[in-house]
Amino acid sequence: MKIINAKFLTTVASQNLLQNTKCEFAFVGKSNAGKSSLINALTNSKSLARTGKTAGVTKNINYFSINNGVFCFVDLPGYGYHTAGKQEQNKWAEILEYYLTNSQNLKCVFVLVDGRHEPSDNDRLMLKYLNQFAIPFAVVATKCDKLKKNDIAKNRQMIAHGLALGESNIIMSSSATKLGLKEILSVMQNFIN
Ligand SMILES: Nc1nc2c(ncn2[C@@H]2O[C@H](COP(=O)(O)OP(=O)(O)O)[C@@H](O)[C@H]2O)c(=O)[nH]1
Ligand SMILES: [Mg+2]
């Protein structure tokens, strides 16, 4: 599958989810995991999704229309930093749960984790939600350009183990070198009629 065009659609608060999309792929993960960069890399654009170091906690849901609306990318709020307060965390969980249970056309969630580090409790909580709601997912380990060759296999094992998944569920990726992007697109292809 090829992405031939991509367009920012809209930003909504959780209560106003788009209803008329054909097929949605959502991206979640800790702030700074590389969601915006991955969306940009997949769509071959520099600034479709904003990237930055000062992401903080986003409360909104961003929709991008891909290939003239054949499918959409949905950028979900990041988990926030551990310094975020309880109230902030609850708000995040609320928005996420609302999206996961109310988006009619969600096909698969890509859970981004930093390929250099052990997965966090929030990553495990995310997978728990997805299992609970029986939503298909794939784990994308980002920033693998920062890893030595030998560490790519090692960290894949570490992340799979930390999430209690098989290694085949982990896509090692880099938005910088485009590692793993074909794999991500081929997962998406399986959900598009
Ligand atoms: N080296 C490297 N840095 C990355 C990669 N993806 C994201 N980053 C950097 O990580 C930071 C956070 O990325 P961003 O896409 O904004 O994360 P988001 O908060 O999950 O949307 C930025 O400084 C990016 O340039 C990658 O594949 N390789
Ligand atoms: Mg972002």
**Do 58 and 76 contact (CB within 8 A), yes or no?**
no
* pLDDT for 150: 94
d(Cα 107, Cα 92) in Å, to the nearest integer?
21
Q: Per-residue pLDDT averaged across 91-108, rounded? A: 90
The residue that leads in pLDDT, 51 or 46, is 46
Residue pair 80/55 in contact by the 8 Å Cβ criterion: no
Under 8 Å between Cβ of 140 and 184: yes
Pocket of ligand 1 (CB under 6 A): 29, 31-37, 51-53, 55, 78, 142-143, 145-146, 174-176
pLDDT score, position 77: 86
Residue 82: per-residue pLDDT: 55
- What pLDDT does 13 receive? 82
Q: Which ligand is nearest to the CA of 112?
A: 1
Summarised one tens digit per residue, pLDDT across range 20-43 is: 999 999 999 998 999 999 999 999
Average pLDDT (101-127) is: 95
What is the per-residue pLDDT for 94? 85
Task: Please report which confidence band the pLDDT of residue 57 belongs to, taking 50, 70 and 90 as the band edges.
Answer: very low
pLDDT value at position 40? 96
pLDDT confidence tier of residue 58, bands split at 50, 70 and 90? low
Q: Is the pLDDT of residue 116 over 90?
A: yes
List of domains in the chain: 6-189 (3.40.50.300)
56: confidence class by pLDDT, cuts 50, 70, 90: very low
> 34 CA to middle of ligand 1, Å?
4
Instruction: Give all strands of the β-sheet with 61-66 in edge-to-edge order.
Output: 6-12, 61-66, 71-75, 24-29, 106-114, 137-142, 170-172
Name the strand (E) or helix (H) holding 111: strand 106-114
Between the CA of 49 and the centroid of ligand 2 the distance, in Å, is 7
Instruction: Give yes or no for residue 53 having a pLDDT over 70.
Output: no
Share above pLDDT 90 across residues of the chain, in percent, rounded to a whole number: 74
